Amino acid sequence: MRILINPQFQYLSGCFDLLLDSDYFESQGELLYDVGRNVVKRFHFEDVDVVVKRFGRITSFNRLMYAMVRESKAIRAYKYASKLRSLGISTPEEVAVWETYSHGMLVDSYFISLFTPSRSLTFLREFNFNKREWFPILDHLAEWIFMLHEKGVLHLDLNLGNILYQEQKDGREHTFQLIDNNRMKFCQQISVEERLKNLCRISTNLELHLYIMKKYMELIPCNNKTLAIKGCYYKLNLEYKQMVKRRMKKLKHLLF
């Protein structure tokens, strides 16, 4: 077993023991997300609300790699959350990591963070240029992503589901938080090409991508026409790769 607890929440360690009982995790808590292998639930332990993410079972090879060579997704999510906040980037505070091992290989892995009432940006997937009331959110989002890149942060799974937002009382400002932080890259400096490639992961909606890219490019002192062409190329290339990947998965399912 491997346990890593934020010293501020050490007093909750007894509550976290409950997670070792798979029946408890399955039957208790409020389900927030259950798509694919990972399950995310909200629990109330004593005086705090927490979000518990249980990472899905992995192959025997990866179980061995995480045990001996590479840090697990849960450990990386914990460490990267702390790193992000040290850079002034908001993310739910890390609470604990809980992992179990069998014969030296990773079996179950949980990452626990504080619950945040912020809203997911997934509703923006329905964006079109007629929804002008969403423009202020998108403007602030473009500025926020630019800030991430200026600070050398590349979230390698930068999609709308992994960005939370909260509108301020005046209605004119929006604050954002990064979640699902186990795939990150921290750089001294990020090239324009890397920025554009990262930006195109935001959404599969081309209209949304073009709007955010336009606002983002206004912040870069470069040739915007050249950047727009590159940005569109990277977006279309990513869409093509994702389409091929989906078809290959479907074909594999049909064959096997």
Are residues 241 and 128 located together in one domain of the fold?
Answer: yes
Residue 114: how many CA atoms within 13 Å on its side-chain side?
17
Looking at the predicted structure, is the pLDDT value of residue 59 above 70? no
Q: Is 255 exposed, middle or buried (0-12, 13-18, 19+ CB in 10 A)?
A: exposed
* Domain membership flag for residue 254: no
User: For 160-176, what is the mean pLDDT?
Assistant: 81
pLDDT (tens digit, 9 = 90+) per residue, 169-208? 665 667 899 999 999 999 999 999 999 999 988 877 888 8
241 and 144 share one domain: yes
Among residues 83, 114, 145, the one where a domain terminates is 114
pLDDT digits (tens, 9 = 90+) for 75-134: 999 999 999 999 999 999 999 998 888 877 888 889 999 999 899 999 998 888 888 888
The number of angstroms, rounded, from the C-alpha of 116 to the middle of its chain's C-alpha atoms is 14
Residues 74 and 191 grouped into a single domain: no
Taking all residues of the chain, what is their mean pLDDT, rounded to a whole number? Answer: 87
Which DSSP symbol is given to 118?
Answer: P
Is 256 domain-assigned?
no
Whether residues 104 and 180 share a domain: the answer is: no
Q: Are residues 89 and 184 in the same domain?
A: no
Mean pLDDT of 59-81: 80
Domain end among 56, 86, 114 = 114
- CATH number of the domain that 84 lies in? 3.30.200
Q: Is residue 167 part of a domain?
A: yes
Using alpha carbons, select from 8, 26, 7 the residue that is nearest to residue 110: 26
Q: CATH number, domain at 209?
A: 1.10.510
pLDDT at 64: 66
Q: What is the pLDDT of residue 188?
A: 92
216 within domain boundaries: yes
The reported pLDDT for the residue numbered 172 is 61
Per the CB < 8 A criterion, the answer to whether 117 and 32 are in contact is: no
Q: Which residue has the higher pLDDT, 77 or 228?
A: 77
Q: What distances in angstroms separate CA 25 from CA 28, 57, 177, 195, one per listed residue? A: 6, 15, 26, 39
Which pLDDT score, from 0 to 100, does residue 230 have? 85
Percent above pLDDT 70 for the chain: 91
Which of 64, 79, 114 terminates a domain? The answer is 114
Q: How confident is the model at residue 66 (pLDDT cuts 50, 70, 90)?
A: low
Give me the residue label for tokens 């997937």: 125
Cβ-based neighbours of 27, under 8 Å, separated by 6 or more: none
Beta carbons of 106 and 69 less than 8 angstroms apart: no
Residues of the domain holding 48:
2-114
- The whole-number pLDDT of residue 35 equals 75
What is the distance between the alpha carbons of residues 75 and 183, in angstroms, rounded to a whole number? 11
**Considering the domain boundaries, does residue 250 fall inside one?**
no
Do residues 106 and 166 both lie within one domain? Answer: no
Please indicate, yes or no, whether residues 164 and 56 belong to a single structural domain of this protein.
Answer: no
State the average pLDDT over residues 50-61. 82
Residue 173 lies in a domain: yes
100 & 191 share domain: no
Same domain, 94 and 151: no
**Residue 253 covered by a domain:** no
| Residue 106 shares a structural domain with residue 138 | no
Name the band, by pLDDT with cuts 50, 70 and 90, for residue 223.
low
Query: Are 35 and 93 in a shared domain?
Result: yes
94 SS3 class: strand
* Mean pLDDT of the region 138-166: 94
Tally of domains in the chain: 2
Q: Is residue 255 part of a domain?
A: no
Do 82 and 180 reside in the same domain of the chain?
Answer: no
Report pLDDT for 180: 94
What pLDDT is stored for residue 7 in this prediction? 95
Degrees (nearest 5) of the Cα angle 116, 117, 123?
A: 115
Give 71's pLDDT tier (boundaries 50, 70, 90): confident
